[in-house]
Structure 1
């Protein structure tokens, strides 16, 4: 019995010894959250809210760094190639699952080059038209779009952006191709919509809610199964007559492959603590964003969800024939 106890103690000591001291002491300096888009966009809003909550749990500053470019893949590649020590993580949306189909020469593998922290939130999209648009509801917009395919303009924030994906789904749902107008981000696309320079834009509620409430754009439909308390007057697409047009833009947190499990566990715990905080809950509720249940705020849930989303979006994107080198 004594030999067994001694052997167990030695084994436990060996296990601890194999964990680097830096991992045991994590974090001993600020943690950086990389957002692969410009500041002020919907993903940036999500990341900054979560980062502020994580600071309390980690006892260290959590800095948000914006690294826009190439539809989000530039920032993702930066984190994939970072030191696997937990001090550099990524917050990215559904683009992590669409990038394999959109980019022929992707510099990272979403399923092999990252450790998973967990799912954060799901954000529905709003289908918007310019303030002076003649369509007052979704049925009128579909009729108008079919009659004006040569001049009906559909804005998006660039290849792979949430607005781009939503636009693809909308065109497939109504069986009509519109004139797409890509921008270098959501802000300029939304600005031109408000200025009556383009006709239609589909974007996340985290970005559009203030403009809808302020009357600067007209919302015709929501890509969610039910209405939002923050936008009670905006019908779902199904209510407006377009069944099956549902899309949620989910966000997840990732760390470089090889990040030690003790470090990853602390990141998971800190993210979950942030999402449980009243400040983050209230902020997300104001913007129509739904926080995932705790059971899905885990590495295993994110990995499973990412794989399913890659399988889902691949055929949609290939059918649309869009890609980038």
Structure 2
């Protein structure tokens, strides 16, 4: 009996010590630089969003935040790396809608978006733009749609791989027209934009955070935005509906995650920092210049992101199945 009591006491003391150490770590957080993994190449839309948010969160947390680009496989390589990182709050992931589409697009995904991550909060929902090289023949969206139907696979279409926002938008466009173009995958839409500017690629569909500056400078041709109404940053670019592409609305939402098992107190601290960052004038103005806006504070929370991920995963599973896309 004494041995049993001694054993139970030892276990209780060990558990208490572990709990105290865990709580102390959360209380002292952050005590070192934080890394945010972006599962796409530098210079792309998700990278742009991340760097703006990281700078503002760094100022709030009092620690440097390093952005690490791990591109490839439509964002799944970077997400997999983040999923297996230490659950200590020092490695995070900022990913977009691809977190909800990957389960339907990949047969052997090395992680489960809903169980291998601790959601921190939504960041922004970014409109998409349908764009092309500056000297592409069609002048309006109506002209473009007719040109795609007529030329199909002779048109080169850039994207960032299966599951990337650019690929999803292109898939919806080709399905709407019942026509296939020749897809050219890149490590991210940053390098894809470089080739679009150079005329090596005909067109792509990408987030305003990656296209607005080039559209405003006249370096690429813009045909439409995927929003119900025109956006302030691109007032001369019509909506898809205005150009004859009905029911073609797509916003690319972004969320911040930690590996599952991260101390809830650390997740809460990161969520509060995210809300502070999104409320800063600098972030709001920078987002506005890029054709988007921060989400409200009540959306930059773990619960809001978890709900978004769950509902969008279900939605895209249906969309992908209806489109007849075979998982890779």
- Measure the CA separation in 1 of the matches of 2:60 and 2:188: 32
Task: Work out whether residues 168 and 320 of structure 1, in 8 Å CA contact, stay in contact via their aligned partners in 2.
Answer: no
Deviations 1:185-227 (CA, angstroms, capped at 9, x unpaired): 2133223323333322111111011111111111010001111
Distance 2:109 2:312 in 1: 17
Q: Deviations over 1:114-173 (max 9, x none)?
A: 111000001111101222222111111111111112412222122222111100011112
RMSD of Structure 2 on Structure 1 (CA): 1.8
Q: Deviations over 1:287-325 (max 9, x none)?
A: 01121111111110100100111111113223242432x
Question: Does structure 2 retain, via aligned residues, the 8 Å contact 1:83–1:256?
Answer: yes
The more displaced of 219-228 and 56-65 is 56-65
Output aligned runs, 1:188-207, within 5 Å.
188-207=191-210
How far apart are the structure 2 equivalents of 1:299 and 1:216?
39
Q: Give the deviation of 1:20 after TM superposition.
A: 2.6
- String of CA shifts for 1:230-262, please: whole Å, max 9, x gaps: 111001111112111011111100011111111
Tell me which of 262, 265, 284 is aligned to 1:262.
Answer: 265
1:162 has 2:126 as partner: no
- Distance of 1:252 and 1:131 partners within structure 2: 32
Choose which of 142, 145, 165 in structure 1 pairs with 2:145.
142
**Residue 10 (structure 1) aligns with:** none
Equivalent residue for 2:216, pick from 213, 218, 230: 213
- Who is 1:28 aligned against? 31
**Equivalent residue in structure 1 for 2:118, among 115, 119, 124:** 115
Q: Report Cα offsets for 1:92-120 as digits up to 9, x if no partner.
A: 01111111111111111011111110000
Aligned to 2:319: 316
SS at the partner of 1:181? strand
Distance 1:134 1:51 in 2: 40
Moved more, 76-85 or 303-312: 76-85
Moved over 6 A (4+): none
Q: Is the 8 A contact 2:72 2:161 kept in 1?
A: no
2:72/2:188 contact within 8 Å kept: no
The within-5 A match list for 1:295-306 is 295-306=298-309
Q: Is the 8 A contact 1:156 1:164 kept in 2?
A: yes
Aligned to 1:184: 187
Distance 2:291 2:217 in 1: 16
- Separation (CA, whole Å) in 1 of partners of 2:81 and 2:23: 24
Task: Name structure 1 gaps, 5 residues minimum.
Answer: 1-12
User: Residues 140 and 62 of structure 1: is their aligned pair in 2 closer, same or farther, counting only changes over 3 Å?
Assistant: same
Counterparts of 1:137 and 1:76 in 2: how far apart (Å)? 37
**Of 40, 51, 57, which residue of structure 2 is paired with 1:37?**
40
Moved more, 312-321 or 276-285: 312-321
Question: Partner of 1:55 in structure 2?
Answer: 58
Q: What is the match of residue 224 of structure 1?
A: 227
CA–CA separation in structure 2 for the residues paired with 1:63 and 1:42:
17
* TM-score of the two chains, using structure 1 as the length reference: 0.91
